[in-house]
Amino acid sequence: MESIITVVLFIVILGFLVFIHELGHFTAAKLSKIPVDEFAIGFGPVLFSKKIRETVYRIRALPLGGFVSLEGEHSQNSPNGFRNRSFLIKFFVLIAGVFMNTLAAIFFLAIFLSTHNRIFFAEKYADYSFNNVEKSYEFFPINILNVQKELGWTGFEKGDSLVEINGEKIESEAKFQKFIDDNRGREVEITTINIETLDLTTKSATIGDLPFNGHYPVIIDAFSSTSKVTQYLSVGDIILAINGDYFDTRAEFKEKLDEVQGTTADFLIYNEQLGIETNVQVPLPEKVNNQVLGAGFHHLEGIEYSVLSSGSKETFFVQYKNNVLAPFSFTYDMALYQMKSLGGLISNAVDTGDFSEASKAVGGPLAVGGQVSEIVKYQIYDVLIILTALISLSFAIFNVLPIPALDGGQIAIAAAESIRGKRINDNTVNAINFAGFAFLMLLSLLIVIKDINQLNIIPSLVDAAKGIIGR
């Protein structure tokens, strides 16, 4: 059922955004008295076709795009055709699709702001100063999930989002862990942020002791489908030691796993419900993809928490002012921030030679489908509002780029003709557009391949097929 809902939402979102983009071109052409030969949503085989006056309206099988075919778009032979119109009229028709996608983004972002107390979070990929804001912070929040008050923890409450300790910003998970380790048993001042209002609160707290005699035991949270130790270990098992060695630091558990990979190791397991310790002999595989157990886990240290950001990236916490300009400011900020972030990621990739993070920031329809799938899985449907807005804004930004076959490329050709006071030969324009189209198709193919690899689609399909045929 989740898959069906995902596909339906994916088609509705992309179909709607393509429709309003092409509707912009269509409406502008009609207002400019340029005949429209075809208005199509999708590509490939025709599912529906109807001619009304001079225009054929079609719905095609693949909902991954669309087009409006204008009379005289590829030839100067038609007196009233597109190629024979003035630069201003061409610009009006070409920019209309971008305008409609921008308008849609403003509309959906206005809904998002009105339903989320005008608050927005974004992972920080580049320095940016947001406009028309009431509050704006940059933090690395630590979200408290649970604390063991019997170990002396006070002041830390479940649901707290920590942003500062003793007046110093928490800059990374490693810095937070070091501060905790260096201040066991001490009273500190912590600052938390209320994510519903962005109010900051400072209060006194005490950092408690470690459980299990000052060691760092590990509790297993989950296993991957490829784990080879599930018949020996279970979710919820607390690993106290391996081959008699306890873990005196967080790093020692992984170091010990690396040491004993490919051997049978003695795991000391604590059963919290029964309150007993048990030795379990576990045959361990060699490390694959930096994994030995094939399990997710966390250390037991008296406090359980999660982080919003990966690595040491801070998060922007922004609340826009309560005025009519807020949706416009939000749209402007999102457009500039997306471009600045992508530029920063590409620049960093060129400098370091590591393009992995930049690659993750660029996605095609499969990546959008992956995001929709996550929304359906966790039933966070309100996120669809901002997802639709950001996709629409991305459509607008992408289409205005000066690449032949895109609206921006067509505007550039029209501008060149206007400046030189002479039309460019039809064959030359068509060749330029064909080259741009071929480039876009190649780029799309590369992005699809990247998404397939990144989203792990092929192994998932193989696993599903194995499940169906029973082997």
pLDDT of residue 213: 80
Task: Write down which residue in 243, 266, 301 finishes a domain.
Answer: 301
Residue 291 Rama label (left phi>0; alpha psi -120 to 50; beta): beta
The CATH number of residue 286's host domain is 2.30.42.10
Instruction: Indicate if 382 and 294 belong to the same structural domain.
Output: no
pLDDT of residue 459: 45
Task: Write down which residue in 244, 271, 301 finishes a domain.
Answer: 301
Task: Write down which residue in 246, 274, 301 finishes a domain.
Answer: 301
Model confidence pLDDT, tens digit, residues 183-220: 988 999 999 999 999 999 999 999 998 888 878 899 99
Q: Is residue 366 part of a domain?
A: no
Q: Is residue 235 part of a domain?
A: yes
Please say if the pLDDT value at position 467 is more than 60.
no
Joined together, the tokens standing for residue 184 give 């066991």
d(CA 396, CA 102): 6
| Number of residues assigned to the chain | 471
Instruction: Indicate if 7 and 109 belong to the same structural domain.
Output: yes
Q: Is residue 282 part of a domain?
A: yes
Which residue has tokens 């557009």? 433
Q: How many CB atoms lie within 10 A of CB 427?
A: 10
Q: Please report which confidence band the pLDDT of residue 359 belongs to, taking 50, 70 and 90 as the band edges.
A: low
Q: How many CB atoms lie within 10 A of CB 412?
A: 17
Q: How many domains does the chain have?
A: 2
Model confidence pLDDT, tens digit, residues 131-153: 999 999 999 999 999 998 988 99
d(CA 209, CA 303): 10
Please say if the pLDDT value at position 404 is more than 50.
yes
98 burial type by CB count under 10 A (0-12 exposed, 13-18 middle, 19+ buried): buried
Q: Is residue 168 part of a domain?
A: no
Beta carbons within 8 Å of 360's beta carbon, 6+ residues apart: 454
Instruction: Indicate if 293 and 377 belong to the same structural domain.
Output: no
Which residue has tokens 């409006």? 68
Q: Please report which confidence band the pLDDT of residue 455 belongs to, taking 50, 70 and 90 as the band edges.
A: low
For 14-38, what is the mean pLDDT?
93
Model confidence pLDDT, tens digit, residues 415-424: 999 998 888 8
Q: Is residue 102 part of a domain?
A: yes
Instruction: Indicate if 13 and 98 belong to the same structural domain.
Output: yes
Instruction: Kindly report the pTM of this predicted structure.
Output: 0.79
Q: Please report which confidence band the pLDDT of residue 441 belongs to, taking 50, 70 and 90 as the band edges.
A: confident
Model confidence pLDDT, tens digit, residues 151-180: 899 999 999 999 999 999 999 988 898 898
Q: Is residue 315 part of a domain?
A: no
At how many degrees (to 10) do helices 457-469 and 426-454 cross? Answer: 60
What do you get for the CA distance between the two ends of the chain, in Å? 24
Task: Give percent above pLDDT 70 in the chain.
Answer: 88
Q: State whether residue 424 is helix, strand or coil.
A: coil
pLDDT of residue 70: 92
Q: Is residue 57 part of a domain?
A: yes
Domain that holds residue 284: 212-301
Please say if the pLDDT value at position 124 is more than 90.
no
Q: Is residue 77 part of a domain?
A: yes
Q: State whether residue 324 is helix, strand or coil.
A: coil
